[in-house]
Amino acid sequence: MITLPNREALSSLSPLERFGLDVLVDLSRCAIVEDPAADVVRVAIADPDPKVADLRACAAQGWYIERSDGVVRVPRAILRRVAEIATGAAERRSTARDRFGRVPSGENELVQQNLVAEPVVADAAARLREAVVASADRRPTAFLTPWPDGKRWAAAITHDLDVVDLWPVFTALRMAELARKGQVRRIARTAWSAITTIGRNPVQRALRALLDAERERSIVPSWFVLCGTPTFRTMRAGDLTYHPEGRGATAALRTLQDRGCEINLHGSFATSDDHALFAEQRRRLAGLTQSPVLGVRQHFLRMRPGETIRGMAAAGFRYDTTAGFPDRNGFRLGVGDVIPAWDGAGGGEQPLDIQEAPVIWMDRALSKYAGIEDPDAWITEGIALADACRATEGLWVGVWHPNLTPALGFPDAPAAFAALLDRLLARQPFVAPLGRLVEWRVARRGVRVRGILPDGRPDVYATRSVTDPLTLEDVSGARRHSIPATPR
Ligand SMILES: [Zn+2]
């Protein structure tokens, strides 16, 4: 258990520094005690600036977190640095754009420092937790259990529904791509699959096969569905390619609902500039599914860092899961977990009432941009990143496109997807739809300890109730006790 810096010290922090502190404490899992006089480890702010530009050096120095008897000091400069990474500050400042209007990955500091495969923010939080344990002496300590059911990390399987109608067009585009890459055998296998499935709708069949593979493993996925009206221009750009009310999309949505999937919005290209469209597309999708739409992910991950998220929050989404790299896999915000999103637009500079669950791995990141066409190589990288999430007790969010099927140009993809699921499950994650994971993490963040009871136990309570119980644990994680919900 910890107490936060006193009111005066907190008010000396800039909004970004305060955000860094909140993210670090949340990810550290240390339970926060409200009674300032409680005899637990105190977290304090240190002012000397240890020079924090080089993140690898920061990590090597334990993020300059100082330990002493009953007090842990975190440099203000580290709070700022952590917040810069977790809010994508360098990307927010960048004016560079690629041909899809996205900030190029090279503008991200973690890419520049060759650290995309390492969740540096989560690492800093783990060092904070270690410092608290080392400074506690005989003071009581308690930590939030990382995930429900005694699981030490979590995984969310997500899918973007990009293709429903006109599938032969996508087959032709993919064959042209394979031809450019000299993938002669894959072209032949694709052509054969496409010819033998004509008239049998390979898109709907692939969708069912994917859902079957998940159901066999008791996995409930989260889906992201486009919900705007396609035009010739949007179709040619690979943006909106199907009518959400059309026959194909209606059949797909019905299948997803029958399987109990979470259905979210896949924001079209225009939403990232015209925020009013978020509310319109969200309403339209909710009308089709007859249930609230909790989450959003941008098609092609097209968004303006720190700005598009404001439109998402204003439209009432609970979470976004766009913050991954389109052209590589890894930790775009230095973390695989759920953190509050940041309002980075002019005059904003504050956390928003919407969560970010960054994408850590995407099926086609290696294929589309690095030219690697062997699905086994894709999933090997996915599993390595899942291990990094597991090591930091975080959340791995993976994207698999249902159109990766032989008739659309991906002969070995379905088998690779099944292997990916098996390898993830062998590592024992807590697996749930992303919306449920987000709500649970928000509830975990809201747990507080009023004070220490005479028998030494923490007087702990949760500020919101969730389906999966919240628990406190000791430093070893062996002894747990449940946390009662006390709605305010
Ligand atoms: Zn998409």
In the chain the domains, ranked by start, together with CATH numbers, are 2-144+446-482 (no CATH), 150-436 (3.20.20.370)
Q: How far is the CA of 37 from the centre of ligand 1 (A)?
A: 52
Average pLDDT, the chain: 92
Q: How far is the CA of 339 from the centre of ligand 1 (A)?
A: 23
Q: How far is the CA of 446 from the centre of ligand 1 (A)?
A: 33
Q: How far is the CA of 176 from the centre of ligand 1 (A)?
A: 19
Q: How far is the CA of 226 from the centre of ligand 1 (A)?
A: 8
Q: How far is the CA of 142 from the centre of ligand 1 (A)?
A: 42
Residue 179: the pLDDT is 73
Q: Which residues of the chain have pLDDT under 70?
A: 166-172, 174-175, 178, 187, 191, 193-200, 346-347, 486-488
Cβ contact 135:67 at 8 Å: yes
Query: What's the pLDDT tens digit per position in 248-291?
Result: 899 999 999 999 999 999 999 999 999 999 999 999 999 999 99
Q: How far is the CA of 486 from the centre of ligand 1 (A)?
A: 40
**Cα Rg, the chain, nearest whole Å:** 23
C-alpha angle 13-458-70 in degrees, rounded to nearest 5: 50
Nearest partner of 20 among 121, 91, 94, 145, judged by Cα = 121
Q: How far is the CA of 298 from the centre of ligand 1 (A)?
A: 7
Q: How far is the CA of 314 from the centre of ligand 1 (A)?
A: 22
| pTM for this model (two decimals) | 0.94
Q: How far is the CA of 148 from the centre of ligand 1 (A)?
A: 30
Residue 64: the pLDDT is 97
